[in-house]
Amino acid sequence: MNLSATDLCLTVDGVEHLRNVTATFQPGRLHTVIGRTMAGKTTLLRALAGLQKVDSGSLTRAGTDFLKTPVWRRDTAMVYQQFINYPHLNVFDNVAFPLKRAGLSRDEIRRWVRQSLASVGLADFERRKPSQLSGGQQQRVAMARALARGTGILLLDEPLANLDYKLREQLRDEFKALFSDRGDTIVIYTTTEPAEAMMLGDVVLVMHEGRILQTGTPQEVFERPATTTVASIINDPPMNIFAGRLEGGRVTVAGFQATHVSAHLADLPDGSYQFGLRATDVSLASSGVEGEVTFVEISGSETFVHVVVGEAPFVVQIEGIHDVALGDPVKLRLRPDRLFAFDEQGTLVRTPSYDLASVEGR
Amino acid sequence: MAQLDIVDVGHAYAPGAEEERWALKPLNLTFASGKTYALVGPSGCGKTTLLNILSGLVRPSRGQVLFDGVDVTALPTKARNIAQVFQFPVIYKSMTVYDNLAFPLQCRRWDKARIDAKVRQVAEALDLHDRLEQPARGLTADDKQLISLGRGLVRDDVAAVLMDEPLTVIDPQLKFSLRRKIREITEQFRPTVIYVTHDQYEAMSFAQEVLVMKDGRAVQQGTPEQLFEAPSSAYVGYFIGSPPMNFLTVDRSDGRFALGGRTLSAAWDIPRNTAGIQIGIRPEYVKVVTEPGPNTFSGRLRGVSDHGAQRVLEVEVAGQLVRTKTPREEGVPVGEEVFVHLPRAKVLPYADGQLVLRS
Amino acid sequence: MDGLRRHKSMFLLPGLLTLFLIIIFPLLFTIRVSFSGWNVSNPRMNFIGGANYTAMLHDSRFWASITRLVLLAGGTVLIQYVIGFGMALLVWRNVRGRRFWRVLFLVPMMTTPVVMAAIWQTIFHESLGPVNDLLGMLGLTRIPWLTESGPALAALMTVEVWQWTPFMFLLLLAGLLSLPKEPFMAAAIDGAGTWRTFWKVTFPLMAPVSVAAIVIRLIEASKLSDSVYVLTSGGPGSSTETPGYYLYIQGLRDQQTGYSGAMSLTYLVLMIVTLTVVAALLTRAFKLKGES
Amino acid sequence: MRSHLYPVFKYTVIALWACFVAGPFFWAMTTSFKNANAVQGGPTYIPWVQYKPTLTGWRNIFGGAGGIDVIDPFVNSAIITIAASAISLALGSLAAYALSRYRFRLGFIKNSDIVFFFVSQRIMPPVVLVIPFFYLLQWGGLLDSIPGLVIVTVALLLPIAVWVMVDFFNGIPREIDEMAMLDGCPPFQTFVRAILPNSLPGLTVAAMFCAVFGWNDFFFAFRLTFTEVQTLPQAVVALNSSIPPWWTLSAAALFGVAPLILLALWVERYLSKGNLSGAVR
């Protein structure tokens, strides 16, 4: 029972929220929709749930016209970015609410609610009101309610976006376990974070300005990003994209010339290209392209150095925490063997070989 | 710019509560003049209480707050000469950008020419100079935050700038540029800054020194590098870094440590008389290798999590889970049987959750 | 939430139709009757053209009552706003017995205007009322409150202020209580004093509530007639007559139904136009002060 | 810096205003225990000291000789207020919910215009409405009856209910409705099960305003009921028409305003919780 969207379009006040969105969502798989804020992810979920009318296009499930099915009969559960629960009901009744509507018996309701609350680690909070819970706990209640009913479609709209960094990390791991055996539920999960999309998704859909740019397994999307836009969305920090020339398999960018011919680029015709290089494939070195440090960001365990070379901005990712002073001149080493080549319109033409999955650690 | 000292300051919202339940347990801290600090910790850790004590909104149940050696514990906010940037942008709605920046100086009855020069100088630094005559209410949230900061910077004698989660309501797209701008400006004006956040990313990116708080206690104070390389407690190891630090229980025999029967050597003396020793090591430093060797232990690959440029591998070693972060290009080992190498220099000893390093 | 067309009408229509049906007949009736000569001796719905309107144009008593209403309503609402805001500010934060004052200051708006007007009539009684008694104790001359036009207007305004300042107080206090703390902290940090804080922070933040409260009160005040009926019966002469009360005399007491219909419509249209203009002006004026 | 005189000034102002607010009640209270002699003797304030208190006034309002009986008008007023408030709240919250959640468009008419239509009915002076209402009720045989008065009172109260509830519903996240629908509730159930239980503060405020304006209405009752039905304000004002028996008038007035004064106590609770704020904006 696939859920198939074809050419969904929606324009509100001159802004195109959905542009010919075509996608098939399969039972038993988790689909992550990744895109920046305002990419149309939420609109897509709301359209699938029936909360948002579309201008044109079709939506079918098991041969029925889903667009004509009212919200309350769509067999769909949703978890919102904001922690939405019924404020007047305690945790137990919140989770029981959809079950009561479905007409389950008292005992069944109790069993399902207990099981569902246990799975999100809230077994001891049955009598609390949502307002007496922390943000993370509130989102767990919402999860439990969505899971308890066992709907055919489960939509999650950036469920971790409003949580603390550590809680996000923790819940991401919990979600992975929760989603691992959802039977034949169609799960669709939106996020802005590449790591989340990659680690949770069976299928990744990359969305930008209302369009779906690419659909594939996490590996496919990450290793073969169809366009520069996809490459920048699926990488965190975004992939460094810069214009350059290729002559005889040799790359020339302002101030940088590959010393080695990169094998994977050797058979490409000479000409102008856009090149992409991940932040992990650029490093600070004693010799190389000269640039100036404009900003340094530190996550818990990585240092991101923002360097400007001439006019072109680069991000360098270094493992561990390093003290780099702003305004310092630095030299960058770019790895030619890791270059992605895109044509001038931004379409992928060559990718570095990642056929290393079977190679044991070197 | 002033040096701020917190002397034995503690606070309980409910009077007469036992010390264990105080929102802020008594502590001593020094914030040096002209440096940037971040207070970081989960909600309810006491960081906001501490900030409110500094700003004068909360009067501590005990202890003293000193600004450049002067006791200000009993002084109201108004008399403390601090500046504050709030979570939600606060501007004077009825005024222009110019008047917003000039307001603190008008309150201090500076003369017009002096105000004008100062306002223009600060506006220049904030990139607001071309919008001075606009009504401030029409600005975007990130620009409003800059105005809040600017109202502190125009007063050249301000003791400290307090920032309370200033990026919370900023659009994700704009967070990066605002963070960068705030950093640039503080480097230029060098005020004493105390920045409160629950986000380790913000804290580490912004501050010269980070103070990790938990349950009303200051757990560790140090540079971002110190927090990463030598977390003083298991909590800091967990809180800073993603995935968190690995902690493994080790056996002890003949004054040596062993993991799963194999000797584990480390770069430190084994602490005496400490039971229940755990070793901590960052996932970044754990290496998956193909062959046995010194400090290398056999394990089973239990899970792989694809984060993109990195993968996180979960390996079970001697019944305990070790996480390691490996670059994508290194691939995933074939088969379940793997070896993990724990570099001698990166292994740290913890007893009862506290770092027990003696050098 | 679209695609729910059937349901949304089911929610809206019962209320909308009820109000519409209750209101539409009186409106149509009034329009029609204003073109008829319906009066006590000839209660028929005939057609006499615009005669009622022509007569009204020359009815100086009507126009005087309109002018009086504008002054009365404008004046009392302004006083109510100033006192209401002041009292709300005083009991907003640190004050002993806060709850007691708040309840007490709300009480008058809960009471029936006509009933209290009857009490006020005894209070303003020239010889037996306590007001003149108090004036006497202060060594001042007694004032014929309800029998001389100036004092009668003052008495009427006093009653209005007493009755409805609490309403202003309620709305403004609720507004104050919902204000965020941060702007006040920011002002304290910037070194602003009490006065500056009020004009630069409190007042601009309260602008939307202020506009709403003033407009609501103006709407209610423009209907002023009950208290006039009880307190002064429009007297002495017609010196405290409001349009509402004059309409009552013409339409109900003297049963000049057609003529009062014409005046009713004129009064209604004038009120709607004036209040719309005032609301727009207030919004503009306060916008300059604050609110986006 | 604040001067030391500020607290003195503050409490003086509060006390003066409190005297002004409480004055009429104090006067009515003291007068209600007087008799003709005490009143005719000029203004006095303190019972036992300045005059000898009697219960004449209070006896008179409960059917004593030469007085009235306030019980029947009280019951009438209560029935009318409660019925009209209930109808207004029910119809008003349904309409307010629709206006807050759905988009209506009829030519140039939008949601805000419909809200304005409701609220603008407050501008209608009762004196304009009362003559047509007279004929309307006469035509329906409802003149001088409780149902008739309930209908016209609804016209007074419905705008208030809509005004308060639209603002209140706008403050409830739409996601709650959406979630209820996803959880299997059709729209009406969504309203009843998910929204109404969360609307108690709003309904309370709306009910309070309805009660105040319903209970205190005088004009409609005055012109549309005569002998069969008399409301409390009518009964009190009737005492005022001839030579005023001040003691009876005062007792009746206090009796008439007492129920809503109790309401003020309750309203203050909501005020401190900040629940009213939504209704103000």
Summarised one tens digit per residue, pLDDT across range D158-191 is: 999 998 899 889 889 999 999 999 999 999 999 9
Please indicate if any CB of chain A lies within 8 Å of the CB of C6: no
Q: Does C3 contact A50 at a Cβ distance shorter than 8 Å?
A: yes
Chain C residues within an 8 Å CB radius of A52 = 2
Closest CA to A361 of B313, C179, D219, B165: B313
What is the tens place of the pLDDT at every residue in C252-273?
888 888 898 899 999 999 998 9
Q: Strands A329-334 and A340-342: what pairing?
A: unpaired
Q: Which two tokens stand for residue D160?
A: 């208030």
Residue D3: the pLDDT is: 61
Q: How many CA atoms lie within 13 A of B194 on its CB side?
A: 29
Q: Is residue C50 part of a domain?
A: no
Query: In this predicted model, what pLDDT tens digit does every residue of A34-75 receive, in sequence order?
Result: 999 889 999 999 999 999 999 999 999 988 999 999 999 999
DSSP output for C33-77: HTTS---SS-------TTHHHHHHHT-HHHHHHHHHHHHHHHHHH
Q: How far lies A206's CA from each of A56, A78, A230, B24, C188, in Å?
A: 21, 20, 7, 46, 48
Average pLDDT over every residue of D101-129: 85
Calculate how close chain B gets to C291, using CA atoms only, in Å.
7
- Token pair for A356: 């290393």
Give chain A positions within 8 Å (CB) of B195.
none
- Full residue range of the structural domain in which residue C171 is found: 59-289
pLDDT at position D277: 46
How many contiguous H segments (helices) and E segments (strands) does chain A have? 8, 21
Strands A15-25 and A64-65: unpaired
Report CB contact under 8 Å: C219, D122. yes
Average pLDDT, chain D: 85
> Confidence class of residue D50 from pLDDT cuts 50, 70 and 90?
confident
Check for a shared fold between B4-238 and B246-355.
no
Mark yes or no for CB contact D218/C114 under 8 Å: yes
- Listed by start position, the domains of chain D span 6-54, 71-280
Contacts of A97 in chain D (CB under 8 A): 180, 183, 193
In a domain, C41, yes or no: no
Reading chain B (359 residues) residue by residue, the pLDDT tens digits are 789 999 999 999 887 778 888 999 999 999 999 999 999 988 888 898 999 999 988 899 999 999 999 999 989 888 888 999 998 899 998 899 999 999 999 998 899 999 999 999 999 999 998 999 999 888 989 999 999 999 988 988 888 999 999 988 888 778 888 988 898 888 888 899 999 998 888 899 899 999 999 999 999 999 999 999 999 999 999 999 889 999 999 887 776 788 888 888 888 776 666 667 889 999 999 999 888 888 999 999 998 999 988 999 999 998 999 999 999 888 888 888 999 999 989 999 898 888 887 64
What is the tens place of the pLDDT at every residue in D190-234? 999 999 999 988 898 899 889 999 998 888 888 888 888 888 888
Q: Judge: domain B4-238, CATH 3.90.1150.10.
A: no
Task: Kindly determine whether residue B42 and residue A164, on different chains, have CB atoms separated by under 8 Å.
Answer: yes
- The pLDDT score that the predictor gives to residue A356 is 40
Whether pLDDT at C229 is above 50: yes
Consecutive sets of 10 residues in chain A, 362 residues long: mean pLDDT of each?
A: 93 93 94 93 95 93 90 92 92 94 92 91 90 89 90 93 84 85 88 93 95 94 94 93 85 73 81 92 88 88 90 89 86 88 92 54 30
Distances in Å between the Cα of B20 and the Cα atoms of A296, B79, B216 are: 39, 32, 9
Domain ranges of chain B: 4-238, 246-355
**Beta-carbon contacts of residue D70 (< 8 Å; ≥ 6 apart):** D61, D62, D232, D235, D252, D255, D256
Q: What is the CATH number of the domain that holds C271?
A: 1.10.3720.10
What's the distance, CA A48 to chain centroid?
18
At what angle are helices D71-101 and D111-120 packed, to 10 degrees? 170
Q: What is the pLDDT of residue B14?
A: 83
State the count of interchain CB pairs (< 8 A) between C and D: 279
Mean pLDDT of C191-195: 87
The reply to whether residue D102 touches residue C1, judged by beta carbons under 8 angstroms, is: yes
Q: Residue A138 is encoded by which pair of tokens?
A: 């509130």
Residues 93-132, chain D, touching C (beta carbon < 8 A)? 94-99, 101-104, 114, 117-118, 120-132
Alpha helix stretches (DSSP H) within chain B: 47-55, 97-107, 112-126, 141-153, 172-189, 200-206, 224-229, 234-239
Evaluate whether B210 touches B38 at the Cβ level (below 8 Å).
yes
- Asked if the C-beta of C138 comes within 8 angstroms of chain D's C-beta atoms, the answer is no
Of D182, D184, D186, nearest to A49 by CB-CB distance is: D182
pTM: 0.87
Query: Tell me, what amino acid is at D147?
Result: P
Q: Residue B77: which of C183, C189, C193 has the nearest Cβ?
A: C189
Residue ranges of domains in chain A, CATH in brackets: 3-227 (3.40.50.300), 237-350 (2.40.50.140)
pLDDT at A360 (0 to 100) = 34
Query: In the predicted model, is pLDDT for residue C292 greater than 50?
Result: no
Exposed/middle/buried for residue C281 (C-beta within 10 Å: 0-12, 13-18, 19+): exposed
Close Cβ partners of A308 (under 8 Å, ≥ 6 residues apart): A291, A292, A294, A314
Residues 6+ away with beta carbon under 8 Å from A149: A77, A98, A99, A102, D183
Please give the pLDDT value at position D234.
Answer: 86
3-state DSSP assignment of residue D131: helix
Q: Which of 2.60.40.420, 2.40.50.140, 1.10.240.10, 3.30.379.10 would CATH assign to domain B246-355?
A: 2.40.50.140
| CATH of D71-280 given 3.40.50.2300, 1.10.3720.10, 2.30.130.10, 3.90.930.12 | 1.10.3720.10
| Residue in A closest to D196 by C-alpha | A88
The label of the residue with tokens 């072109």 reads: A312
B94 vs C289: CB contact, 8 Å cut-off? yes
**Beta-bridge mates of residue B30:** B5
Residue with tokens 């709850």: C99
Integer Cα distance of C9 and B352 in angstroms: 66
Q: Which residues pair with A156 in a beta bridge?
A: A79, A189
Strands A56-61 and A3-12: antiparallel
Q: Tell me the chain C residues in contact with residue B58 when contact means C-beta distances shorter than 8 Å.
A: none
